[in-house]
Amino acid sequence: MLKARLIACLDVRWGQTVKGVNFLGLRDLGDPVERALSYARDGADEIVWLDVQATLDQAQPRADLIRRLRKSLAIPLTVGGGIRTLRDVETVLEAGADKVSLNSHALADPKIIEAVARRWGSQCVVVAVDARRVDGQFRVYSHGGRVDAGWELTDWLRTSETAGCGEFLITSMDQDGRQQGYDLPMLNRAREVTQRPIICSGGAGQIDDIARLLDQGHRACLLASTLHEGRMHLGDVKRELFERGYPVRETR
């Protein structure tokens, strides 16, 4: 059985960590570099860094902050937000990212997925998907959850996989920041239609939420609000999961 990946997420706006509920009411939570390094020391298996303002401002992710983080970070790093061109991808990778996360621009032009995968390999391409329930469907949104992108979840996953996506980061907008558990129906539906790994995001509040996710066969979970607020600590989470019999990576 694959070992679980516990991934710490930093939503970044104008150089500061932010977090809200259901993509709304973002609060400033301080230096994202220091937070990321703290989570890495505590046992995070990977870091995801998403500039949630870059697309809206038509700006690139802050390469200076990525370089600063990479100087002390020894675990895999995925960076997203504002990536529109191959030059943007190159800039982020040169700054120290291992993978790039594509979202709004890929929804508008899926050929960017193919282009990045062809040049750097599918393992470099994470397609981030923000989705919510609308009239009985899981609809995909762009621009930080502000715009219905015109895709149903499963259709977009199939299209992205065919284009060369190596991994998905799927966030339930309905559960985001609520700390009431992952959206298992959405995530299970996604797993039915893609062979690519899925990072599950939106809703973790306690260890039982992670355990239920793993029980469904998922192997990668994103944690944000519950870490920022100090409700969970990654080292403790890993130890308890290990004691319950779940395969996890090295505990600290």
Q: Which residues are catalytic?
A: 11, 130
Query: 211: Cβ–Cβ under 8 A, 6 or more apart, which residues?
Result: 241, 244, 246
Burial class (CB in 10 A: 0-12, 13-18, 19+), 186: buried
Beta bridge partners of 25: none
CB distance 52 to 60 below 8 Å = no
What is each CA distance from 17 to 74, 180, 200, 211, 217, in whole angstroms? 20, 22, 20, 27, 31
Give me the residues paired with residue 180 across strands: none
Distance CA 208, CA 170 (A): 20
Query: Which amino acid, 251?
Result: T
